Structure 1
Amino acid sequence: MKSSALNTLLVAKAIFGKSKSLVNSGDKHSCTAGIILLQDFVELIVLAVLDQLDADEQRSLESKSFDELLGELKKLKVPVVKSGTIKALNKQRVISKHYGQLSEPASVVNYFNTAVVFADAILEHVVGKKLQEIFLTDILRDGPEKDLIKDAILSADKDDFLDSLIKLRKAFFISYEREYCIYAFRAAEQNLGLWGLLGLSASGGGKAHSWTRNKTWMDANVKTPCDYIQVDSEKLKTDCMEWGVSTVDTENFRRLTPKVVETEKNVWHVDYDTNFAANELNVENFNYCLDVVLDFLLKKQEFDTGHKWPKRVKSIPAPPIYIGKPVFESPSPHSRVVGYVNEGFYYTVDRVVSGFDAGERYLYVHLYPQGEELLVGSHMWGYMLNE
């Protein structure tokens, strides 16, 4: 797909998300605002498709009316489904925007559903994918989350909505909820040291409340496998705000999909109640949950890729250190000595640090015996005076 067409679709996607929340509010004023945005969404979809089909970059669209843009689609043999309702949507938008006339919520919901059908039909004809599939395949990075969502869409196409919703939740777990899964701490004692905590947190659970990450708490509170997930709601809200994701939609997604947890590699456990199975295994709920989880994953991906770290491509020779010199716990000669430089040790120098006495410079060093790189207990980290 052309980058310009994809960028237009990204703008349309952002507008669609805003219009969706307004349309579903049930309030006349919000629904009227929603229909104005909804028409912008539809028009951007049309422009993206025409851009994609304009191989020679010869078509001028700036001065054309909305009806003329639909005519351009028909000239290119693109199916324009529900064209009467789509044209009526444009007229209703003019009435609402330029004359301040309120729209009835029921009518707006009908326009919204028609707009989705219209957009999916023309996109499927031109690029072979529906709107959500485009974002999935062209933007979401490769990985297990992407594979699970693809499989979820296939299951939904077969009307297996339980399987499809479970797969969406698995993608969410791998991307985010794993950070609240305390399963790795099930045998840990309450006085687990710092290195033990860091080691176990690498398997997940680092964002869960600290008091849940021990055997005593779990023996008393974990009654089913999915109880290993202990979400800190305040951290979840903070993450959503930082990433620009709707907290309400995220919490809705967690309620409208079965709970899942992966305890061992490819060992999954599922938990859902009978009322959920009776009421939420349908295409409407699947489409909503798909939209929410895609938005969540894309926003998280965008946030993660925005981080910058110092480059480590180049290196400089490590400053020399000398046998018998003390290694201190902190950059001060008055701090505890954690060890001495021994003959036969390898070392790395990670940082140069000013001491608490500003006239002193220290090297932050890592020492370990030759041939025993994997024996963590024999490693030593600390500060050595740079003389």
Structure 2
Amino acid sequence: MKQSTLNTLLVAKAIFGKTKSLVNSGDKHSCTAGIILLQDFVELIVLAVLDELDTNEQRNLESKSFDELLGELKKLNVPVIKSGTIKALNKQRVISKHYGQLSEPASVVNYFNTASIFADALLERVVGAKLQEIFLTDILKDGSAKELIKEAISTADKGDFLESLAKLRKAFYISYEREYCIYAFRDREANDNRLFGLLGLGLSGGMKAYYWTRNKTWIDANVKTPADFIQVDPEKLKTDCMEWGISTVDTENFRRLTPKVIETENGVWHLDYDTNFAANELNIENFNYCLDIVLDFLLKKQEFDAGHKWPKRVKSVPAPPIYIGKPIFEKPSENSNIIGNVKEGYYYSVDRVVSGFNAGEQYLYVHLYLQEAEFSIKDHIWGYLLNE
């Protein structure tokens, strides 16, 4: 796919997202605004397709009307489905935009559904993928979440909507919801302040959950099903959504319209859903709605994460020598507690160089460990060594 085609589709996708919230409002004024945006979405899809098919870069489209753009597709033997409704959409947009006439919400919803079908059919014919699949293939980074969404789309095509919705939720879980899963804390006492990061406890998630839930006592008293291990803090979820530019309402809708999932051990998944959900939401409409939300969530999160910059670690400097018997202090001061001494048989690394509390003193923040204890939490010392 051409980069220019993808860029046009990115703009169309952004407009489509705004349109969806306006159309679903049920308010005449919002729906009228929605139909104006919806026509822009459709026209951008047509322009993207024509751009992709213009291999010689010679086609002049700037001065053509919408009906003429559809005619260009037919000249290229590209079938245009629902063309009558799409042309009617364009006329309704003119009436609404230039004459201020309000549109009926029911009609706008019909136009919205038709535009979505029109766009997917057109893109599938020209580039071999629907709109969501294009973003999945060309933008979303490779990984478990991407593979789960691919599987979800394939499963939905076979009509198994429970499994497909569960896969969407699994992609959301491993990308975000895992951070609220307190399963790793089920055997940790409330007053246990031992280092646990090296055991992978922090990497297993749960660090965004309420702090008082991250202990054995609370878990034994409150976790009744595997899904109860997920303790979402609504304020943190809201803050993340705001920071990433994601609709909190859409995210909460997604969590309600997909079955709950949790991975307790590697590859061990648990499912939780009520019977009303199974009776009402296992359909293609709900799947497409949830797919659109989770793709938007993952792409926005990916874009946010990509903006972070970290100091390079490609080059390193030789660690200064440290000597056996030297004291290791809790703080960069000779008046602080001595937590150990440099011993024979220990390896060490110097992580930072810091100024001491006393002017003129310089300390090395060091990590000492026995070779055989490198991957355990025993016999490790972190502290400050006076750099003389």
Place the TM-score, normalised by the shorter chain, in its bin. over 0.9
- Residue aligning to 2:338: 337
Shift of 1:386: 1.7
Q: How does 1:289-300 map to 2 (within 5 A)?
A: 289-300=290-301
Q: Which runs of 4+ in 1 moved over 4 A?
A: none
Residue-by-residue CA offset, 1:8-64 (whole Å, 9 max, x unaligned): 111110100000000110101100111111111111111111111111211121222
1:53 aligns with 2:40: no
Q: How does 1:11-90 map to 2 (within 5 A)?
A: 11-90=11-90
Shift of 1:269: 1.0
Q: How does 1:139-288 map to 2 (within 5 A)?
A: 139-196=139-196, 199=199, 200-288=201-289
Is the contact made by 2:327 and 2:385 (CA closer than 8 Å) also made in structure 1? yes
Structure 1, gaps ≥5 residues long: none
Tell me the amino acid that sits aligned with residue 339 of structure 1.
G
Is the contact made by 2:198 and 2:377 (CA closer than 8 Å) also made in structure 1? no
Q: Which moved more, 1:347-356 or 1:242-251?
A: 347-356
In structure 2, C-alpha distance between the alignment counterparts of 1:262 and 1:158, rounded to whole Å: 25
Residue-by-residue CA offset, 1:47-105 (whole Å, 9 max, x unaligned): 11111111121112122211111111111111111112111211211221122221111
In structure 2, C-alpha distance between the alignment counterparts of 1:372 and 1:252, rounded to whole Å: 47
In structure 2, C-alpha distance between the alignment counterparts of 1:236 and 1:192, rounded to whole Å: 27
In structure 1, C-alpha distance between the alignment counterparts of 2:108 and 2:385, rounded to whole Å: 70
The 3-state SS of whatever aligns with 1:269 is: strand
- Residue aligning to 2:91: 91
Shift of 1:196: 2.7
The 3-state SS of whatever aligns with 2:196 is: helix
Residue-by-residue CA offset, 1:311-335 (whole Å, 9 max, x unaligned): 0001111122222222111111111
The 3-state SS of whatever aligns with 2:351 is: strand
Q: How does 1:359-378 map to 2 (within 5 A)?
A: 359-378=360-379
Shift of 1:345: 2.5
Tell me the amino acid that sits aligned with residue 17 of structure 2.
G
In structure 2, C-alpha distance between the alignment counterparts of 1:53 and 1:384, rounded to whole Å: 67
Q: Which moved more, 1:57-66 or 1:369-378?
A: 369-378
The 3-state SS of whatever aligns with 1:253 is: helix
Shift of 1:207: 0.9
Tell me the amino acid that sits aligned with residue 118 of structure 2.
F
In structure 1, C-alpha distance between the alignment counterparts of 2:296 and 2:283, rounded to whole Å: 20
- Residue aligning to 1:6: 6
TM-score using structure 1 length: 0.97
Q: Which moved more, 1:9-18 or 1:345-354?
A: 345-354
Tell me the amino acid that sits aligned with residue 57 of structure 2.
E
In structure 2, C-alpha distance between the alignment counterparts of 1:374 and 1:194, rounded to whole Å: 15
Q: Which moved more, 1:343-352 or 1:222-231?
A: 343-352
In structure 1, C-alpha distance between the alignment counterparts of 2:384 and 2:302, rounded to whole Å: 37
Residue-by-residue CA offset, 1:175-218 (whole Å, 9 max, x unaligned): 11111111111111111215136742221111111111111111
- Residue aligning to 1:310: 311
Shift of 1:375: 4.1
TM-score using structure 2 length: 0.97
In structure 1, C-alpha distance between the alignment counterparts of 2:325 and 2:216, rounded to whole Å: 43
Tell me the amino acid that sits aligned with residue 173 of structure 1.
Y
Give % identity: 80
In structure 2, C-alpha distance between the alignment counterparts of 1:53 and 1:373, rounded to whole Å: 58
In structure 2, C-alpha distance between the alignment counterparts of 1:257 and 1:59, rounded to whole Å: 45
Change in Cα spacing, 1:260 to 1:371, as seen in structure 2 (3 Å) is closer
Is the contact made by 2:181 and 2:229 (CA closer than 8 Å) also made in structure 1? yes
In structure 1, C-alpha distance between the alignment counterparts of 2:211 and 2:146, rounded to whole Å: 31
Change in Cα spacing, 1:166 to 1:69, as seen in structure 2 (3 Å) is same
Tell me the amino acid that sits aligned with residue 75 of structure 1.
K
Is the contact made by 2:353 and 2:363 (CA closer than 8 Å) also made in structure 1? yes
Residue-by-residue CA offset, 1:103-134 (whole Å, 9 max, x unaligned): 11111111111110110111000011111111
The 3-state SS of whatever aligns with 2:363 is: strand
Residue-by-residue CA offset, 1:239-259 (whole Å, 9 max, x unaligned): 111111110011011111111
Structure 2, gaps ≥5 residues long: none
In structure 1, C-alpha distance between the alignment counterparts of 2:131 and 2:294, rounded to whole Å: 14
In structure 1, C-alpha distance between the alignment counterparts of 2:32 and 2:359, rounded to whole Å: 65
